[in-house]
Amino acid sequence: MGVPHGANKLIGLATPSAWSFDAMKRFSTLDTLEREGSDPSGKTRGLGLYKSIETENAKAVTDARRDLEELKKRAAAGFDAGEVSTTVLPQIADAATLPDDLSGYVTFLHPWMNEVLNQIILVLMFGILMVLSLVVLRLKDLF
């Protein structure tokens, strides 16, 4: 089970298990591993854990490259001026890694569902099931 794509998104809308599982995940208030349904005000800023870590690492690499270019420019300027430089080397940030314990995250939240809609759809599906059960039992009595 992963993030639904294509027809699976539509098929999932017809199954009560998808709605109830999504409701349980939403009530847990956990952030997501995937971008789908991730909370913009959550720990991962709406990116999901995987994309959030990738973004942090890309920023660290960009910052390190910028600092290195600035160091090269300062060294070249000092060399041209005949100065002996005692320039401090830039510090490179450690790469972010996935935590060993991912229990504080859910895989994804379906982007077409929400807390209120989940409850309404589940009650509606239960009502339809009850009506259809009564119709089938009544037809069984007639035949």
pLDDT reported for residue 42: 81
Classify 2 as helix, strand or coil: coil
DSSP structure class, residue 111: T
The yes-or-no verdict on residue 28 having pLDDT over 90 is: no
- Residue 99's alpha-carbon distances to 39, 53, 56, 96, in angstroms, are 19, 10, 14, 9
Tokens of 55: 């973004």
Mean pLDDT value of segment 33-48: 85
The yes-or-no verdict on residue 1 having pLDDT over 70 is: no
Q: What gap in Å lies between CA 141 and CA 135, rounded to an integer? A: 10
- Residue 114's alpha-carbon distances to 13, 46, 71, in angstroms, are 12, 15, 50
Q: 103: pLDDT confidence band, cut at 50, 70 and 90? A: confident
pLDDT reported for residue 84: 62
pLDDT reported for residue 38: 84
- The whole model's pTM is what? 0.63
pLDDT reported for residue 130: 95
Q: What is the pLDDT of residues 52-97, one digit of tens each?
A: 999 999 999 999 899 888 888 887 777 766 666 666 677 777 888 8
| Separation of CA 80 from chain center | 50
Mean pLDDT value of segment 110-122: 88
Mean pLDDT of the chain: 85
